[in-house]
């Protein structure tokens, strides 16, 4: 009896141990990828930002002592806000139309949103340059129609960057909005109407609040993507719109300042994580990911 | 992001290749690992210089590419056991690397082909290999018979109205600003950085684009987006093939070159020196412009009779063209003053 008891009591933990071992082995490849390709480089990045033949916060001190860095961060945040607000204003009606239109039409609308999505950002940015530059299609057309005498400066400045970024990021706003709007039960709108609400009232008091998770998801997504945008401002900015991502690349390519580049990257990363955290507080991730 | 990814890929393949080269072929004949910048340029030099040099010396030349060699030179130096031997890179990298103990000092008695080269084309660590120039280029349709011919003209927005572009980099741009302000080409160095930036502030409102890549500079010219521009002569010549309205002048051009240098403790040091000497052989050098529109680093190449006269006229390092230009002083640009100018640039452009 006594031997039996000891046998069962030892075999059970061993069995569980084996099971855990199995689970760990199954997880190992994924863990290796995450640790090797994400955590290690990130830690190395953080390390590099504070180590230069000794422990130093010089790279971070520079972020607020050198006006260039501050201006670059300000510009990046300002452009990000402008792009996010514009994509929301443009994207909301599109997503709304896609939810209320007959199915074949709504598919058409969504296709129009998604197809540019498959074209590379580089190609689309160059495309905008062809359209917007001084000798571009838009200016030639306007001048040909006699609307303007001298070409408008639409590219190689902040306006060009804004137009390009808005176009490229619009799908990232429309798709979460559409996902959220589609989940709003039509019955609620009918109920609102049956209680005497006019279409505008029903929209403002029923539909709009219920679409908020989509708004939050789209806003956070677009804003975060804006913060790291590189190719579009590089191509359409004419060399003047120095966004944070460009600041990082200049520090590496031009100035050999890997420490400074790392410090800027760390600050950008922290900013993005904070925004994501706030975004998650505002709206549970599940409700926008379409899990239910 | 994409660029970073691409270059790290190149670096990865770089070290793999070099590893293969040093282990796999160790038993074979003498060899070197030669690194250049890739693309059409490296293909051209393979045909004109690398293959013939390998044949003449009876060695194997293992090639590798890195668009920006400096970070790799630095990393390989840090390990103390580099895998590269000879690098074709901007002279500043060789000089800066020499100062930091990453580049071998050259024994010129072993490099007879350098003997007849101008002193300015050599440093203790490097020999000029290939020349290009930052030239003043313009749209002939816009300016007709009176195009701008000097940096003073480029700065003169009243006499030469039109849109302008400059490179988003202080090298050559500061020199151009100083010449526009009346500094003699021979008296540029050490650069009066304050004066240069002051002069640049003057033209800044009239600059439509600060270009960052050679391709971008070519596109601006080709589409007629800018009426005049500082651009690399090789790019300009290729645009001219497509767009006959483009012209340029070597007047006050800024002659720049890449140089060959050898990594400190290079794995095949002796062969590397022999290879370096052969790579600047006037005959091999003369074949380079036949393959691509760059000037030979060794001016003796123009005396071989291989380069046709009408081609020589378009090459930045042809003696009569070189005489109209100023040679960029790599030593100044790799000094602390050069570093400071580089940093000041970012603030200047963004404001």
Q: Do the Cβ atoms of B151 and B252 come closer than 8 Å?
A: yes
Q: Do the Cβ atoms of B256 and B90 come closer than 8 Å?
A: yes
Residue A233 pLDDT level (bands cut at 50, 70, 90): very high
User: Which chain B residue's Cα is nearest to A153?
Assistant: B208
Q: For residues B275 and B91, give the distance between their C-alpha atoms in angstroms, rounded to a whole number.
A: 18
Long-range contacts at A107-114 (CB < 8 A, ≥ 24 apart): A110/A174, A110/A178, A113/A170, A113/A171, A113/A174, A113/A175, A114/A171, A114/A175
User: Which chain A residue's Cα is nearest to B351?
Assistant: A240
Residue B343 pLDDT level (bands cut at 50, 70, 90): confident
Contact B71 A134 (CB under 8 A): no
Contact A254 B68 (CB under 8 A): no
User: Which chain B residue's Cα is nearest to A231?
Assistant: B1
Contact B209 A238 (CB under 8 A): yes
% chain A with pLDDT above 90: 54
Render A237-284 in DSSP notation, one character per residue. Answer: STTT---HHHHHHHHHHTS--HHHHHHHHHHHHHHHHHHHHHHHHHS-
pLDDT digit string, tens, across residues A21-80: 998 899 999 999 988 898 998 998 898 888 877 888 888 988 888 888 989 999 999 999
Count of positions (residues) in chain A: 292
Give the burial class of B224: count Cβ atoms within 10 A of its Cβ; 0-12 exposed, 13-18 middle, 19 or more buried.
Answer: middle
pLDDT digit string, tens, across residues B294-329: 899 999 999 999 999 999 999 999 999 999 999 999
Render B169-208 in DSSP notation, one character per residue. Answer: SSTTHHHHHHHHTT--GGG-PSP-HHHHHHHHHHHGGGEE
**DSSP 3-state of B329:** coil
Region B138-161 average pLDDT: 94
Region B96-110 average pLDDT: 93
Indicate whether B67 pLDDT > 70.
Answer: yes
Give the burial class of B337: count Cβ atoms within 10 A of its Cβ; 0-12 exposed, 13-18 middle, 19 or more buried.
Answer: middle
Q: Taking Cα atoms as reference points, which of B46, B40, B75 lies closest to residue B62?
A: B46
Q: Do the Cβ atoms of B269 and B104 come closer than 8 Å?
A: yes
For an interface test with A, give the residue of B6, B164, B208 to mutate (most A CBs within 10 A): B208
Chain A residues touching B342 at Cβ < 8 A: 254-255
Q: What's residue B301's pLDDT? A: 95
Q: What's residue A65's pLDDT? A: 86
Q: For residues B306 and A162, give the distance between their C-alpha atoms in angstroms, rounded to a whole number.
A: 53
Q: What's residue B346's pLDDT? A: 85
Region A192-198 average pLDDT: 91
- What is the residue-averaged pLDDT of chain A? 87
Q: The tokens of B170 are what?
A: 């202080």
Indicate whether B56 pLDDT > 60.
Answer: yes
Q: What is the DSSP letter of A35?
A: I
Q: What's residue B5's pLDDT? A: 36
Q: What's residue B105's pLDDT? A: 95
Residue B10 pLDDT level (bands cut at 50, 70, 90): very low
Indicate whether A256 pLDDT > 80.
Answer: no
Residue A150 or residue A90, greater confidence: A90
Query: Nearest C-alpha of chain A: how many angstroms from B206?
Result: 12
Region B103-110 average pLDDT: 95
Indicate whether A244 pLDDT > 60.
Answer: yes
pLDDT digit string, tens, across residues A100-129: 889 999 999 989 988 888 889 999 999 999
Contact B347 A242 (CB under 8 A): no
Write the ipTM.
0.78
Q: What's residue B78's pLDDT? A: 81
Residue A285 pLDDT level (bands cut at 50, 70, 90): low
Q: What's residue A284's pLDDT? A: 60
Region B220-238 average pLDDT: 92
Residue B315 phi, psi (nearest 5): -95, 135
Indicate whether B111 pLDDT > 80.
Answer: yes
**What residues pair up with A55 in beta bridges, in sequence order?**
A51
- B225 → closest Cβ in A66, A134, A242: A134
pLDDT digit string, tens, across residues A6-32: 444 444 556 788 888 998 899 999 999
Q: Which helix (H) or strand (E) covers residue B61, if one does? A: strand B60-65
Q: What's residue B59's pLDDT? A: 95
- What is the residue-averaged pLDDT of chain B? 89
Q: For residues A225 and A230, give the distance between their C-alpha atoms in angstroms, rounded to a whole number.
A: 10
pLDDT digit string, tens, across residues A216-231: 999 999 999 999 999 9
- Chains A and B form CB pairs within 8 A to the count of 61
Render A55-93 in DSSP notation, one character per residue. Answer: B--HHHHHHHHSHHHHHHHHHHHHHHHHHHHHHHHHHHH
Count of positions (residues) in chain B: 351
Q: What's residue A7's pLDDT? A: 47
Peptide bond into B190 cis (omega under 30): yes
Please state which of the ranges A249-258, B197-206, B271-280, B296-305 shows the lowest mean pLDDT: A249-258
**What residues pair up with B259 in beta bridges, in sequence order?**
B89, B128
Contact A68 B223 (CB under 8 A): no
**What residues pair up with B130 in beta bridges, in sequence order?**
B258, B296
User: Which chain A residue's Cα is nearest to B169?
Assistant: A254
């Amino acid at each position: 009896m006594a031997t039996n008891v000891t046998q069962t009591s030892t075999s059970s933990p061993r069995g569980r141990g084996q099971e855990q071992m199995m689970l760990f082995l199954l997880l190992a490849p994924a863990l290796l990828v995450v640790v090797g390709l994400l955590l290690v480089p990130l830690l190395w990045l953080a390390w590099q930002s504070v180590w230069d033949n000794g422990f130093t916060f010089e790279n971070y001190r520079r972020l607020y002592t050198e006006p260039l860095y501050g201006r670059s961060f300000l510009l990046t945040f300002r452009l990000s806000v402008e792009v996010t607000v514009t994509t929301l204003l443009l994207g909301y009606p599109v997503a709304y139309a896609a939810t209320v239109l007959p199915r074949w039409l709504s598919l058409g609308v969504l296709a129009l949103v998604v197809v540019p999505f498959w074209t590379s950002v580089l190609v689309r940015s160059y495309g905008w340059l062809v359209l917007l530059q001084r000798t571009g299609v838009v200016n030639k057309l306007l001048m040909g129609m006699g609307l303007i005498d001298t070409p408008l400066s639409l590219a190689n400045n902040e306006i060009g960057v804004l137009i390009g970024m808005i176009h490229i990021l619009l799908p990232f706003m429309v798709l979460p909005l559409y996902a959220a709007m589609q989940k709003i039960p039509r019955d609620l709108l009918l109920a609102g109407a049956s209680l005497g609400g006019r279409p505008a009232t029903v929209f403002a008091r029923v539909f709009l609040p219920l679409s908020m998770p989509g708004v939050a998801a789209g806003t956070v997504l677009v804003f975060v993507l804006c913060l790291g945008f590189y190719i579009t401002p590089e191509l359409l900015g004419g060399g003047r719109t120095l966004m944070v991502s460009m600041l990082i690349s200049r520090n590496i390519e031009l100035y050999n300042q890997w420490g400074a580049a790392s410090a800027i990257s760390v600050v950008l990363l922290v900013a993005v994580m904070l925004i994501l955290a706030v975004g998650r507080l505002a709206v549970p991730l599940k409700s926008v990911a379409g899990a239910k | 992001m994409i660029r970073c990814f691409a270059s790290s890929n190149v670096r990865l393949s770089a070290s793999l290749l070099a590893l293969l080269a040093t282990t796999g072929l160790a038993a074979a004949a003498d060899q070197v690992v030669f690194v250049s910048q890739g693309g059409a340029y490296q293909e051209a030099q393979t045909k004109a210089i690398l293959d013939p040099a390998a044949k003449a010396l009876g060695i194997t030349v293992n090639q590798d590419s890195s668009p920006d060699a400096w970070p790799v030179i630095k990393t390989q130096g840090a390990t103390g056991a580099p895998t590269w031997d000879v690098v074709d890179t901007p002279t500043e990298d060789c000089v800066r690397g020499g100062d930091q103990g990453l580049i071998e000092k050259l024994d010129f008695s072993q490099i007879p082909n350098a003997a007849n080269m101008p002193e300015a084309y050599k440093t203790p660590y490097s020999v000029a290999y290939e020349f290009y120039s930052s030239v003043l280029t313009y749209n002939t349709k816009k300016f007709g018979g009176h195009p701008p011919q000097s940096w003073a003209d480029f700065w003169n927005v009243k006499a030469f109205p039109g849109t302008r572009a400059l490179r988003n980099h202080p090298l050559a741009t500061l020199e151009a600003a100083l010449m526009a302000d009346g500094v003699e080409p021979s008296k540029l160095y050490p650069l009066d950085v304050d004066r240069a930036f002051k002069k640049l502030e003057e033209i800044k409102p009239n600059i439509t684009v600060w270009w960052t890549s050679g391709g971008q500079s070519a596109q601006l010219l080709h589409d007629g987006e800018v009426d005049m521009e500082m651009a690399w002569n090789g790019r300009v010549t290729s645009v001219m093939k497509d767009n006959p309205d483009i012209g340029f002048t070597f007047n006050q051009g800024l002659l720049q070159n890449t140089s060959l240098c050898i990594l400190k403790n290079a794995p095949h040091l002796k062969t590397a020196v022999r290879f370096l000497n052969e790579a600047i052989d006037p005959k091999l050098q003369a074949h380079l412009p036949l393959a691509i529109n760059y000037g030979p680093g060794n001016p003796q190449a123009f005396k071989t009779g291989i380069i046709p006269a009408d081609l020589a006229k378009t090459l930045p390092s042809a003696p009569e063209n070189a005489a109209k230009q100023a040679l960029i002083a790599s030593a100044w640009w790799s000094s602390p003053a050069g570093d400071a100018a580089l940093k000041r640039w970012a603030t200047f452009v963004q404001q």
